[in-house]
């Protein structure tokens, strides 16, 4: 076909839970490898990809606070959990011969570069996969907000949220047989109806920056590539 226009740049948010596979906690190595393989396929297809990874498979500040832990301290522990996940994804991607950089919002110079926006952009221009670790670096935020923030900073064309469900439904599809998947929603639909997609801070940030969000099931092998081709099931928020 014709000449390629400037390359597409996307941010994929991988929730911590997506790394658990069938487990209830922690990391399933096979699942990490499979997700890395999916990411590698998209990168080899010529797309600039950066990743934000969550930490909920290991530690969540809010859940710890509910049991009496100081919230901010718990959130810092949660951010460190995302760094563990980032290193695992980095390793799995490099086994796919993909060049990567982990950039952490909390300085950890022995294992990750400090996050510097202009350096991150440069890495992406060179075709490296940048894995953003430690969320925003601030307690009281989530990695969803970090994903919207980094996607805006990197001027991504789209933010893809990889979850365990293939989009946003009118009700919980596991509880309600009549639940339907929305093909498209507006940011305001999500905010006004408090749809459980991403927190309000993340949605607002995406809205202000006209950053489209796509919600899809990363648990399905190959789904990232399919969604990038506009195939398969997903919900688009614009
Ligand atoms: N976190 C934080 N600030 C951030 C991002 C994350 O404090 O900018 C903490 C927070 O405690 C959160 C935990 O890190 O519960 C893990 O991230 P998240 O829950 O977003 O992960 P996911 O749900 O994607 O697995």
Q: How far apart are CA 209 and CA 16, in angstroms?
A: 25
**Structure token digits, residue 227:** 């969604």
| 5 has a pLDDT exceeding 60 | no
Average confidence (pLDDT) over 105-127: 97
Burial 180-215 (b: 16+ CB within 10 A, else e): eebeebebeebeeeebebbeebbbbbbbeeebbbbb
Q: How confident is the model at residue 2 (pLDDT cuts 50, 70, 90)?
A: very low
**Separation in Å, CA 213 to CA 41, 89, 185, 205, 236:** 21, 22, 10, 11, 6
Q: How far apart are CA 89 and CA 180, in angstroms?
A: 33
The interaxial angle of helices 200-208 and 143-153, nearest 10 deg, is: 10
**Contact (Cβ atoms closer than 8 angstroms) between residue 155 and residue 8:** no
Averaged confidence pLDDT in the chain:
95
Q: How far is the CA of 6 from the centre of ligand 1 (A)?
A: 33
Q: How confident is the model at residue 104 (pLDDT cuts 50, 70, 90)?
A: very high
| 1 has a pLDDT exceeding 70 | no
Is 133 close to ligand 1, i.e. is its CB under 6 Å away?
Answer: no
Average confidence (pLDDT) over 123-145: 97
Average confidence (pLDDT) over 28-33: 97
**Contact (Cβ atoms closer than 8 angstroms) between residue 169 and residue 179:** yes
Is 75 close to ligand 1, i.e. is its CB under 6 Å away?
Answer: yes
**Contact (Cβ atoms closer than 8 angstroms) between residue 158 and residue 213:** yes
Q: How far is the CA of 74 from the centre of ligand 1 (A)?
A: 10
Question: Which class is domain 9-237?
Answer: alpha beta
**Separation in Å, CA 165 to CA 48, 93, 94, 226:** 25, 24, 28, 15
Render pLDDT for 118-129 as a digit per residue (tens, 0 to 9). Answer: 999 999 999 999
Is 146 close to ligand 1, i.e. is its CB under 6 Å away?
Answer: yes
Q: How far apart are CA 191 and CA 193, in angstroms?
A: 6
Q: How far apart are CA 14 and CA 100, in angstroms?
A: 16
Closest protein CA for atom 13 of ligand 1: 78
Render pLDDT for 150-209 as a digit per residue (tens, 0 to 9). Answer: 999 999 999 999 998 899 998 888 888 899 999 999 999 999 988 889 999 999 999 999
**Contact (Cβ atoms closer than 8 angstroms) between residue 203 and residue 229:** no
Average confidence (pLDDT) over 83-93: 98
Q: How far is the CA of 56 from the centre of ligand 1 (A)?
A: 7
Is 141 close to ligand 1, i.e. is its CB under 6 Å away?
Answer: yes
Average confidence (pLDDT) over 37-44: 98
3-state DSSP call for residue 101?
Answer: strand
Q: How far is the CA of 78 from the centre of ligand 1 (A)?
A: 5
Q: Which atom of ligand 1 is nearest to the CA of 18?
A: 25
Q: Which atom of ligand 1 is nearest to the CA of 136?
A: 8
Is 56 close to ligand 1, i.e. is its CB under 6 Å away?
Answer: yes
pTM above 0.90, yes or no: yes
Burial 87-118 (b: 16+ CB within 10 A, else e): bbbbebbeebebebbbbbbbeeeeebbebeee
Q: Determine the straight-line distance between the first and last CA of the chain, rounded to whole angstroms.
A: 29
Q: How far is the CA of 99 from the centre of ligand 1 (A)?
A: 26
């Amino acid at each position: 076909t014709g000449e390629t226009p400037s390359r597409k740049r996307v941010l994929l948010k991988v929730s911590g839970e997506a790394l658990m596979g069938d487990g209830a906690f922690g990391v399933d190595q096979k699942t990490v490898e499979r997700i890395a393989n999916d990411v590698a396929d998209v990168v080899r297809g010529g797309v600039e990809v950066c990743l934000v990874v969550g930490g909920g498979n290991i530690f969540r500040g809010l859940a710890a606070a509910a049991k009496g832990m100081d919230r901010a301290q718990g959130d810092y522990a949660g951010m460190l959990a995302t760094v563990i996940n980032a290193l695992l994804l980095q390793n799995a991607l490099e086994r796919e011969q993909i060049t990567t950089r982990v950039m952490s919002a909390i300085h950890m110079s022995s294992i990750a570069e400090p996050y510097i926006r202009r350096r991150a952009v440069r890495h992406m221009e060179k075709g490296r996969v940048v894995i953003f670790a430690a969320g925003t670096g601030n307690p009281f935020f989530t990695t969803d907000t970090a994903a919207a923030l980094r996607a805006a900073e990197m001027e991504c064309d789209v933010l893809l949220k990889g979850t365990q469900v293939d989009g946003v439904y009118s009700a919980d599809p596991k509880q309600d047989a009549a639940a339907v998947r929305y093909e498209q929603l507006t940011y305001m639909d999500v905010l006004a109806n408090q749809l459980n997609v991403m927190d309000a801070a993340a949605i607002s940030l995406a809205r202000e920056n006209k950053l489209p969000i796509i919600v899809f099931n990363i648990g399905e092998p190959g789904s990232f590539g399919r969604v990038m081709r506009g195939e398969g099931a997903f919900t688009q928020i614009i």
